[in-house]
Amino acid sequence: MASVQLERVSKRFGSTHVIDEVSLSIDHGEFVVFVGPSGCGKSTLLRLIAGLESISDGDLMIGGKRVNELSPQERGVGMVFQSYALYPHMSVYENMAFGLKLGKASSESVAERVNETARILQLEALLERKPKALSGGQRQRVAMGRAIAREPDILLFDEPLSNLDASLRVQMRNEIARLHGRLGSTMVYVTHDQVEAMTLADKIVVLNKGHIEQVGSPRTLYERPASKFVASFIGSPS
Ligand code: ADP
Ligand code: MG
């Protein structure tokens, strides 16, 4: 059974078709990357999966269950955004604990999960700090920590590294790859950086104007792009 399955999913804002009958199957534990030019619908597609936007037409299944009408919390997904969206008045610890407390976990189990997450992301020494006392990379780690502390089956990332400088981006990219290996969760990752896509993805989905141009492994897309559009986007020679 697929982890996430989209069946002819469409999204309209008014009369504008932003996502047009997209069908896609994502396996458990798979790392899937959405790429495509600005405005092609990457974020919208991710937000449809997360439940932050409603689906206009089609079906979305998570773990075999239709979730079109379920809230983000009910879908078992965690999301990491480009802007870190941390609570400025809360410490790192509180930022990571917040969602867990809403989930009505006991305070011991909250502490256990936050500490384990902090260990995985090397945030242990920073738990008492406020976001403004953190570097960009540290803030992005906290944002990731907040998402993974809840142990979602599916992690969604929307250009999480695009606000970081180049060297930090490489470091965080490696961190995300390591996290994927360690957690084994399904990851869906939006980027416009083709190096990020090629190094992280098991499977790349190339989007263009709200539809899928091609789905395949990085190698397949590079060696056998289905169109000039894909070739130019992936940077392959053909
Ligand atoms: P990407 O992430 O690939 O850059 P988006 O998914 O953000 O693209 O946007 C796809 C298209 O949908 C764009 O043309 C954008 O203007 C439009 N769009 C996104 N969100 C909304 C909204 N809430 N209302 C109206 N149009 C939107
Ligand atoms: Mg976007």
Q: For the chain, what is the mean pLDDT? A: 92
The one-character DSSP state at 66 is E
Letter for the amino acid at 85? A
What is the C-alpha separation between 238 and 228, in angstroms, rounded? 8
Q: What mean pLDDT comes out for the span 112-134?
A: 93
Token pair of 209, please? 């104007």
Confidence tier at 150 by pLDDT (50, 70, 90): confident
How many A from CA of 130 to the centre of ligand 1? 32
State residue 120's pLDDT score: 86
How many A from CA of 115 to the centre of ligand 1? 37
Q: Is the C-beta atom of 5 inside 6 A of ligand 1?
A: no
Q: What mean pLDDT comes out for the span 20-36?
A: 97
H-assigned helices in the chain:
42-50, 92-102, 107-120, 136-148, 166-183, 194-200, 218-223, 228-234
Q: What mean pLDDT comes out for the span 32-43?
A: 96
Among 39, 35, 29, 34, smallest CA distance to 49 is for: 34
Is residue 39 within 8 A of residue 118, CB to CB? The reply is no
- Whether the per-residue pLDDT at 105 is higher than 80: the answer is no
What is the predicted ipTM? Answer: 0.98
Q: What mean pLDDT comes out for the span 181-185?
A: 91
Point out the ligand 1 atom lying closest to the alpha carbon of residue 47. 6
Confidence tier at 7 by pLDDT (50, 70, 90): very high
Residues 38-95 pLDDT 10s: 999 999 999 999 999 999 999 999 999 999 999 988 999 999 987 778 999 999 999 9
Angle subtended at Cα 137 by Cα 199 and Cα 157, rounded to the nearest 5 degrees: 50
Higher pLDDT, 4 or 164: 4
How many A from CA of 238 to the centre of ligand 2? 27
Q: Which SS3 state, helix, strand or coil, does residue 110 take? A: helix
Q: What mean pLDDT comes out for the span 97-120?
A: 86
- Whether the per-residue pLDDT at 238 is higher than 60: the answer is no
Please state at what angle helix 136-148 crosses helix 92-102, rounded to 10 degrees: 20
Confidence tier at 107 by pLDDT (50, 70, 90): confident
What is the C-alpha separation between 108 and 226, in angstroms, rounded? 52
- Whether the per-residue pLDDT at 23 is higher than 60: the answer is yes
State residue 73's pLDDT score: 85
Token pair of 147, please? 């998402």
State residue 237's pLDDT score: 66
Q: What mean pLDDT comes out for the span 127-155?
A: 92
- Whether the per-residue pLDDT at 126 is higher than 60: the answer is yes
Point out the ligand 1 atom lying closest to the alpha carbon of residue 16. 26
Q: Is the C-beta atom of 42 inside 6 A of ligand 1?
A: yes
What is the C-alpha separation between 12 and 54, in angstroms, rounded? 10
Region of 53 please: left (phi>0), alpha (psi -120 to 50) or beta: beta
The one-character DSSP state at 153 is S
Percent of the chain with pLDDT over 70: 98
Q: What mean pLDDT comes out for the span 141-147?
A: 91
State residue 132's pLDDT score: 95
State residue 77's pLDDT score: 93
What is the C-alpha separation between 102 and 99, in angstroms, rounded? 5
How many A from CA of 167 to the centre of ligand 2? 22
Q: Is the C-beta atom of 87 inside 6 A of ligand 1?
A: no
Helices (H) and strands (E) in the chain, counts: 8, 10
Residues contacting 122, CB < 8 A, separation 6+: 141
Sign of CA dihedral 184, 3, 97, 166: positive
Token pair of 200, please? 């992280």
Among 63, 70, 141, 142, smallest CA distance to 99 is for: 142
